[in-house]
């Protein structure tokens, strides 16, 4: 089964597998969303089943909650947990300061709330997610459905006045209908190419009526585990830089690889 994984999936897997080492018995853990985070959830499920690891997981989406339960992780709400020891999540882009673009899967709102309520946030990513400057990946913003076109116009006008954007944003679709987030909102994807001042942009976006949250994660991530298709992993800490390089074996655990639907 492992032989069928693409190099990118291998890179995601080894990053997730290495990041699972950060999880200790008794921790309350924020569980991210997306294909990389799904590997982490599977790895943690295996540790719960085979090694007796006891954790409580706070998922960042209904998708992740379903997967976590399916692999045997105890799932609790953020309000039950109140505070988390650690959140591990994927990202669409990360830069040298470990600022992120997230929300490619539409889960940015719960992800940001959960990550911000954690002692530590660790991002897991294949090496292709590393960028010098954020913005090649379209920046998702979550908007309430009421008057979303008015909100879109306001966002575009404001960004044009900041010299950040031409009229280039799109409503995310799910087939023929607008994509709906777990919170019942829509996503606008901002095609920016390059974000010169991500900190300022994040603040400006969140001041606009109708914008619930944006996918820029500034000063939230503490470390990133970068996976490579050949099994190498690098752990980079926000304060100390690269603190570990390692190699993770591809496991032969059919259970871990049996669900590739995410
Ligand atoms: O909304 C989705 C999340 O922010 C994901 O963590 C992000 O899109 C990365 O996803 P993936 O690991 O599938 O590339």
ipTM for the assembly: 0.99
Q: Using the 8-state DSSP alphabet, how is residue 170 labeled?
A: E
pLDDT of residue 261: 45
Q: Is 92 in the pocket of ligand 1 (CB under 6 A)?
A: yes
pLDDT of residue 96: 97
Scan for tokens 């959960």, then name that residue: 114
Given 111, 142, 213, 234, the catalytic residue: 111
Question: How confident is the prediction along the chain (262 residues), in pLDDT tens digits per residue?
Answer: 445 789 999 999 999 999 999 999 999 999 999 999 999 999 999 999 999 999 999 999 999 999 999 999 999 999 999 999 999 999 999 999 999 999 999 999 999 999 999 999 999 999 999 999 999 999 999 999 999 999 999 999 999 998 886 669 999 999 999 999 999 999 999 999 999 999 999 999 999 999 999 999 999 999 999 999 999 999 999 999 988 888 887 764 455 655 544 4
Q: Tell whether the torsion through CA atoms of 22, 23, 27 and 30 is positive or negative.
A: positive
Q: Is 40 in the pocket of ligand 1 (CB under 6 A)?
A: no
Query: Left, alpha or beta for 71 (phi > 0: left; psi -120 to 50: alpha)?
Result: alpha
Indicate the SS3 state at residue 197: coil
> What residue's CA is closest to ligand 1, atom 5?
34
> What residue's CA is closest to ligand 1, atom 9?
91
From 16, 32, 34, mutation site for ligand 1 pocket: most ligand atoms within 8 A of C-beta: 34
pLDDT of residue 258: 56
111 has catalytic annotation: yes
pLDDT of residue 58: 98
What distance lies between CA 82 and its chain's CA centroid? 20
Q: Which atom of ligand 1 is nearest to the CA of 129?
A: 14
How far is the centre of ligand 1, averaged over its atoms, from the C-alpha of 58 (Å)? 16
How far is the centre of ligand 1, averaged over its atoms, from the C-alpha of 157 (Å)? 28
Q: Spell out a b/e string for 211-235, using b for 16 or more CB atoms within 10 Å of the CB, else e.
A: bbbbbbbbebbbbbbbbbbebbbbb
Q: pTM score > 0.90 for this model? A: yes
Nearest Cα neighbor of 212 from 250, 194, 185 is 185
Q: Is 91 in the pocket of ligand 1 (CB under 6 A)?
A: yes
Domains of the chain: 2-130+219-257 (3.40.50.1360), 139-215 (3.30.70.260)
Nearest Cα neighbor of 153 from 169, 164, 141 is 169
pLDDT of residue 198: 96
Q: Is 81 in the pocket of ligand 1 (CB under 6 A)?
A: no
Q: Is-contact 30 44, C-beta < 8 A?
A: no
pLDDT of residue 249: 79
pLDDT of residue 4: 74
Cβ neighbourhood burial of 117 (10 Å; 0-12, 13-18, 19+): middle
Q: Which residues are annotated as a binding site for substrate?
A: 33-36, 89-92, 102-105, 129
Q: Is 32 in the pocket of ligand 1 (CB under 6 A)?
A: yes
> What residue's CA is closest to ligand 1, atom 6?
90
Q: Is-contact 249 148, C-beta < 8 A?
A: no
């Amino acid at each position: 089964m492992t032989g069928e994984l693409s190099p990118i999936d291998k890179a995601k897997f080894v990053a997730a597998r290495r990041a699972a080492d950060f999880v200790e018995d008794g921790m309350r853990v924020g569980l991210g969303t997306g294909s990389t985070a799904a590997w982490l959830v599977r790895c943690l499920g295996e540790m719960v089943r085979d090694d007796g690891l006891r954790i409580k997981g706070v998922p960042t989406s209904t998708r992740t909650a379903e997967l976590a339960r399916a692999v045997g992780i105890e799932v609790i709400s953020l309000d039950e947990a109140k505070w988390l020891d650690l959140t591990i999540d994927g990202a669409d882009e990360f830069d040298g300061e470990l600022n992120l673009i997230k929300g490619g899967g539409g889960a940015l709102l719960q992800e940001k709330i959960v990550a911000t309520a954690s002692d530590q946030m660790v991002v897991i990513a294949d090496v292709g997610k590393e960028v010098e400057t954020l913005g090649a990946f379209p920046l998702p913003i979550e908007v309430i459905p009421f008057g979303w076109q008015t909100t879109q116009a306001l966002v575009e006008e404001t960004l044009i006045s900041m010299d950040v954007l031409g009229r280039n944003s799109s409503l995310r679709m799910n087939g023929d209908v607008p994509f709906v987030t777990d919170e019942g909102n829509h996503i606008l994807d901002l095609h920016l190419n390059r974000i010169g001042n991500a900190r300022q942009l994040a603040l400006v976006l969140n001041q606009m009526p109708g914008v619930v949250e944006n996918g820029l994660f500034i000063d939230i991530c503490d470390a990133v585990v970068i996976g490579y298709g050949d099994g190498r992993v690098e752990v980079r800490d926000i304060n100390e830089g690269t603190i570990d390089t390692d190699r993770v074996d591809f496991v032969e655990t059919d259970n871990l690889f049996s669900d590739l639907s995410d």
